[in-house]
Structure 1
């Protein structure tokens, strides 16, 4: 398999292969997790401890090898207990959570043609003052911010999009990474920030990245690719696609033009610093985008 990102537009829309036996693998996975005390099936009174979409993400991450998937799932559950993730998310301060979004990929409020939420990460927006602000927080708190925003994605955005795409579950996102006007020195200064986020997501939120479209890549991109590619496992590397300075034609094969930000050749009046610009179907379900920690469960927003 190649260890460099794809440049072919067609490559970006090839679906991830799924084993014909995935149903059997899922049941075997549930059985092993239940025996290990890591999974509780649904009962008349309570839902399952983990939904099928989450379990399938771990299986896909390990090519449906049930034993390897169980090892990663067990490690993630231990990590969640170590960092008290559920309580961290439930009690995280709303203003800090909202202000932290500027440092990470942000949801546009729109979905691609298959129903996956579309995220954008514009690194030039993390200018020197913002990088200084980012670095002023203790490393432990920066890590907690990353965790909380991943929880917001997997516990609010993905279930919401699944609700709208039923019966097709949505368990991953499409991300546009914008490298316009990013200097090599800026990338170097952000390397630790980006590496920590990538490593944490790969280990504990596997298979949440479906397609990564890198736009406006600078001339030095091959140089930075040589040191950032080691942050990702091979499966993630093969989902990264490099688009030209005019990404619109390829993005339109993935996302309806009305849902592509204007900066990338679409019609959506949205920029990276903005709150999500919700599409009409989402507005009908939730009205406005909520602030702070919130869950989407069984068609409704609930407090964690």
Structure 2
């Protein structure tokens, strides 16, 4: 699975998709597929919301293609991994790598499970299950009426079993449950919360969250610069060590194969020791702060300073 995922990431060019892919039809697409991140839950995780009952799959695929929509979906996931999770980790003072998702299924019926809708849902689920596993903390399905309950057993069969175990179908009396896990200020009014974003498109297009906080972005930028610096130093060390080892082999090459084998055998052990020293150096850098430039704000490791991201 790991090898397949790496091959997929290479083929899909995920490492550069944030910068390279321009989804010009985004505003129109969101009218036909209302969705977006909005704030965090009480544990500091990003909250993702979809209004499934308002999806118009046929209209969606008239303004974009399934291939382009999947690229947009992957681009949003990469933003989650590279920006939203790190920002939430800084804000929560703990490592964050999962989301809380709310699916509002009010109005869902057979029309929402036409062939275009099924193709779209299955394609998205395959991308998520194969390449972004274990990023879901919990999924809460609200406004589940008779139409949705009739279709739920079929939809559940399309899901990965581990994912299905995290799903909670609440029905129409959901406000109290949602407010137990999400603060009222981070929950939109249409879900029983107190937020009513005045931006165009409302709460689902506001992209509200710690990833919009300028102070947190400064911390992330400092961490990234420190990480880049360490990677450059590490690369230079590896290159220097490799060149030095090649020089030694050339110098003793005429002294017999036994000596060369002995030297080659001892080389990796030295490199392993060097790697251990590098790990200690990185840990010491984290203790002092971001490369000595800025004190770390976190009491527990979020993976930013030490290069875990």
**Same fold (TM > 0.5):** yes
- Aligned mates of 1:150, 1:142 — CA distance in 2: 12
**Counterpart residue number, 2:96:** 170
Name the structure 1 match of 2:195: 268
Specify which of 22, 25, 30 is matched with residue 93 of structure 1.
Answer: 22
More helix per residue: 2
Residue 218, structure 1, aligned to residue 145, structure 2:
yes
Q: TM-score, normalised by structure 1?
A: 0.64
Partner of 2:68: 141
Give runs of aligned pairs for residues 1-304 of structure 1, distance below 5 A: 72-93=1-22, 95-96=24-25, 100=29, 103=33, 105-108=35-38, 110-127=39-56, 131-166=58-93, 168-188=94-114, 189-270=116-197, 271=202, 273-278=204-209, 282=213, 284-286=215-217, 298=222
Q: Distance in 2 between matches of 1:297 and 1:284?
A: 10
For residues 210 and 135 of structure 1, do their structure 2 counterparts lie closer, same or farther at Cα, with a shift above 3 Å needed? farther
CA distance in 2, matches of 1:134, 1:143: 12
CA separation in 1, counterparts of 2:174 and 2:123?
28
Quick check: which has more Rg, 1 or 2? 2
Unmatched tracts of structure 2, length 5 or more: 226-309
Structural RMSD (CA): 2.7
Higher relative contact order structure (alpha carbons within 8 Å, sequence separation ≥ 6): 1
Q: Secondary structure at the match of 1:274?
A: helix
Q: Contact 1:122 / 1:272 at 8 angstroms: preserved in 2?
A: no
Whole-Å separation in 2 of the counterparts to 1:78 and 1:194: 23
Q: Deviations over 1:125-183 (max 9, x none)?
A: 323xx7413344333222212211111111111111112123x2111100110011223
Instruction: Report the secondary structure of 2:48's partner residue.
Output: strand
